[in-house]
Structure 1
Amino acid sequence: MATENAPLTLHPDRLLPADPGVRPVARRLYAAVRDLPIVSPHGHVDPRVLLDDEPFADPASLLIQPDHYVTRLLHAGGVSLDALGVGAGPLPEDRARAAWRLLCENWQLLRGTPVRFWFETELAEIFGVTRRPSAATADALYDQVAAALAEPGHRPRALLERFGISFLATTDDPADDLAAHAALAADPAVTTRVAPTFRPDRYLEPAAPGWADAVKRLGAMADTDTGHYAGYLAALENRRRYFVAHGAVSADHGHADAVVAPLDPAEAARLYGRALAGQITAAEATAFRRHMMLEMARMSCEDGLVMTVHPGIHRNHHPPTLARYGPDTGHDIPVAVEYTRALQPLLERYGTHPDLHLVLFTVDPDVLGREIAPLAGFYPSVYAGAPWWFLDNPTAIRAFQGAVTEIAGLSRLSGFIDDTRAFCSIPARHDMSRRLDAGFLARLVAEHRLDEDEAHDSLAGLVAGQPRKVFKL
């Protein structure tokens, strides 16, 4: 039976293979990459946090409120999002402490999840916590973490350096002036390369509320008339070049499906006009977005931005939660998705283009080996994106390693991406990936499918070389 004052321990062999004939190899492989710099080419950390470098307010605002991986599990167990402070901004001390108590009192809800692995790693390695969260330890742990956050060594920039992050991509609106990125790039004290990512989804969905106003603002930022289709395309091209000039390496796309279906330019212009007039139907809006994904691929071939695609999410599945707490609060749910037929028009035109890198992500595990791996195993532009979101767990990652690698090979993988808003979870997530990759390669060595020197080379590639290659760093 679990005790209220149990120690919090991190076993040095956690997630490594249990087989005694494999584990020593995995230990050696993991030890060789454990401390390599982190390359994080897809995530959601706010660059202004790093620019301002203000102390984090409290444990709840840092470790609970922004992390929907944590809050959704607590919510499923009966804890209200309001009590956790979701969407509320910085909390007064009494509410922050109460939210922390709820996490500790419900610690068992994280059992068996990767969230438990990440959180334990954060608490132990960043804050020196040695006791397991529980009702009995909640207040003492809050005080310990809060005291650490008041120290200079736990401010955002100090942690950025401590985590060993060499490259950190954020996610940004195409109409953003990127002032925070410019200031960080100009600051010699910031040694991490912090790059924006071009995220045009809202500008490609003409049936979405506020689309016309967003497009007008996009045109203003690009100093281009978006009152017609040609101007709209020119504005997108202009803003992409602006992002490239500010260090961007990728454009990120997350729509309901992966379908690409070209339209005649005249038809695209007609639909664009209907959208500006507020007359476009849902079917027409979908057709326009599917056409624009081909335009996005064309632009990537021209400006070099890596094209990352992660469709198949039912966004904001629970409208009352959206209305009360806003988006990105834990209720985006995966749906089945198809890639082979969906992407054929794009790949027919650009799949062998030397300047296109197309990274395909999914939260539908069935398509990894069936579709994404074969696509990456033929088209030189296509890479298989690492398991992310709901697939960012040991079981799914191990399935990915076997299903995708044996079809496409290690050279067609993207390398790990952490996809997180929770800043302190970045090193924990990358550590989990390194342990699992070490275990996978160690099994290949034990089965005499790889020599150990090849496994070392492959693991270093997955950790650092591959993401740098795929994302053109």
Structure 2
Amino acid sequence: MHLESDPDRLLPVDPRTREIARELYRQTAELPILSPHGHVDPGLLLDDEAFADPTELLLRHDHYVTRLLHASGIALNELAVPDRTGAAPTADPRTAWRRFCENWHLFAGTASGYWLHHQFAALFGLTEQPDAANADALYDRISAMLTAPSFRPRALFDAFGIEFLATTDDPLDDLAVHRALAADPAFAGRVAPTFRPDAYLNPAHPDFTANIERLAAWSGSAADDYDGYLAALEARRAHFVTHGAVSADHGVLQPLTVDLGPDEASALFSRAVRGRLGDIEAAVFQGHMLLESARMSVEDGLVMTVHAGVLRNHSTATFETFGPDTGHDIPLRTGYAEALRPLLQRYGNADDFHLVLFTVDETSFSREIAPLAGFYQSLYIGAPWWFLDAPDAILRFRAAVTETAGFYRGSGFVDDTRAFLSIPARHDMARRLDASFLARLVAEGRLDAPMAGRIARDLVDALPRKAFKL
């Protein structure tokens, strides 16, 4: 069995519609990549060091991959995932790679399997499906290629055609890496930080009190001073804006917004810092701070993105041993219309405020998010995210939102990835699928070809530039 990539992959099977889709894809295939939300470590580009080995590059940090292997009975430490004690994993990188190759069939039909297939064929020229017999040979071939200057992170950044890449950063990060990248004449790319304040807004977060104390120490205010707390968050946001940030990202269990008076908010904050809030009060305070964050975005111009509906760290034992982001976050049913009404009442039509909503509950696309985006000028539909950034789910997304909100109330594709090498595969996938969706509308007489071409190009370029103020 071979890995060569079909040039018509993901395009319609019907010959007439496929021909239309080919032309639409051709118009977008070489456009630059705009990646306005993701989790790539900016130090990767600053240090520009060779990748250590295939396991470090393609397996260990990709929880899309490790979670399926874990579900099939392979322990995470057998996949070179380190535990929180700092002890070495039970498997060395080559052994972990063998386990992955032995179980390559598990990824058939999955989005991660599609992306890996693309990477293996397009970047490494592999023509064999991974398996137990060829695992070592593939490991050695990829390892040899990783020593080449063309496989250094900066060279790949240029080869991928990335014009803009956003990272995700702690509010108290000094952003020295971003500053150094921006000042480096040898690096022409644009890499921007993203303000991610969840652990400073949610009293239920285990590090909330410690983070508030650190923030207060930085600002010189008392830890329980609510006005000082707000001022410190605003100052940190300004620091990010100065360093090129375009957005502030909020990961919440539910997108609740609550409008509290200053005295009530101050009282809740004082108790939150002391760890004296119950679950309901903690959710209310976080909801109030989501509304306050919208106010701050209206004032400082940062795009507000909300990623809602994921129950983090579902497996307590796995979290305690291996930490977060190790494959056991689970989607939940999520509601937006009622939860966001206080925010939208205030800022839904505010000039220059941009709110991008992401969900992993795809029933909410047609039920709530598209109708909201079809009225409120500040609200944009976030691209299919996490469990939904997959071929069939993306086509379902387009069908769910387009008839209500059209094509121009969306964010454009957002890869939201930690896996640097998967960025071009993910964006290419989205471009092919949008070409397929538009081709069907042309074939059905619902769009003409010139309009479909304009939309295809705008989905890749104009929409993300507008939504994220690029």
Residue 468 of structure 2 corresponds to 471
Residue 158 of structure 1 corresponds to 155
Letter of the 2:72 counterpart: G
Q: How far has the Cα of 1:91 moved from its partner?
A: 7.4
Residue 358 of structure 1 corresponds to 355
SS of 1:25's partner is helix
- Taking a change above 3 Å as real, the CA distance of residues 297 and 205 of structure 1, as seen in their structure-2 partners, is same
Residue 258 of structure 1 corresponds to 255
Find out whether 1:77 has 2:72 as its counterpart.
Answer: yes
The answer to whether the 8 A contact 1:260-1:293 is kept is: yes
Q: How far has the Cα of 1:221 moved from its partner?
A: 3.5
Q: How does 1:270-309 map to 2 (within 5 A)?
A: 270-309=267-306
Residue 208 of structure 1 corresponds to 205
Distance in 2, Cα, partners of 1:264 & 1:54:
51
Find out whether 1:15 has 2:15 as its counterpart.
Answer: no
Q: How does 1:120-131 map to 2 (within 5 A)?
A: 120-131=117-128
Number of positions where the alignment pairs a residue of Structure 1 with one of Structure 2: 468
Deviations 1:161-199 (A, max 9, x none): 111100000000001000000001111222221000000
Q: How does 1:235-254 map to 2 (within 5 A)?
A: 235-254=232-251
Q: How far has the Cα of 1:224 moved from its partner?
A: 4.5
Residue 411 of structure 1 corresponds to 408
SS of 1:341's partner is coil
The answer to whether the 8 A contact 2:297-2:304 is kept is: yes
Residue 185 of structure 1 corresponds to 182
Q: How large is the Cα RMSD of the aligned pairs? A: 1.5
Distance in 2, Cα, partners of 1:219 & 1:25:
58
Of residues 38, 41, 56, the one that matches 1:61 is: 56
Distance in 2, Cα, partners of 1:396 & 1:468:
24
Find out whether 1:454 has 2:439 as its counterpart.
Answer: no
Q: Which runs of 5+ in 1 are unaligned?
A: 1-5
Deviates more, 1:128-137 or 1:435-444: 128-137
Deviates more, 1:11-20 or 1:217-226: 217-226
Q: How far has the Cα of 1:9 moved from its partner?
A: 1.6
TM-score between the two structures when normalised by the length of structure 1: 0.97
Q: How does 1:292-371 map to 2 (within 5 A)?
A: 292-371=289-368
The answer to whether the 8 A contact 2:82-2:88 is kept is: no
Deviations 1:315-359 (A, max 9, x none): 000011101111001100001010001111100000000121000
- Taking a change above 3 Å as real, the CA distance of residues 151 and 378 of structure 1, as seen in their structure-2 partners, is same
Residue 43 of structure 1 corresponds to 38
Q: Which runs of 5+ in 2 are unaligned?
A: none
Deviates more, 1:215-224 or 1:229-238: 215-224
Residue 375 of structure 2 corresponds to 378
- What percentage of residue pairs aligned between the two structures are identical? 60
SS of 2:165's partner is strand
The answer to whether the 8 A contact 1:224-1:234 is kept is: no
Q: How far has the Cα of 1:32 moved from its partner?
A: 1.4
Residue 390 of structure 2 corresponds to 393
The answer to whether the 8 A contact 1:257-1:311 is kept is: yes
Of residues 430, 434, 446, the one that matches 2:431 is: 434
Residue 137 of structure 1 corresponds to 134
The answer to whether the 8 A contact 1:300-1:355 is kept is: no
- Taking a change above 3 Å as real, the CA distance of residues 223 and 464 of structure 1, as seen in their structure-2 partners, is farther
Of residues 165, 168, 178, the one that matches 2:165 is: 168
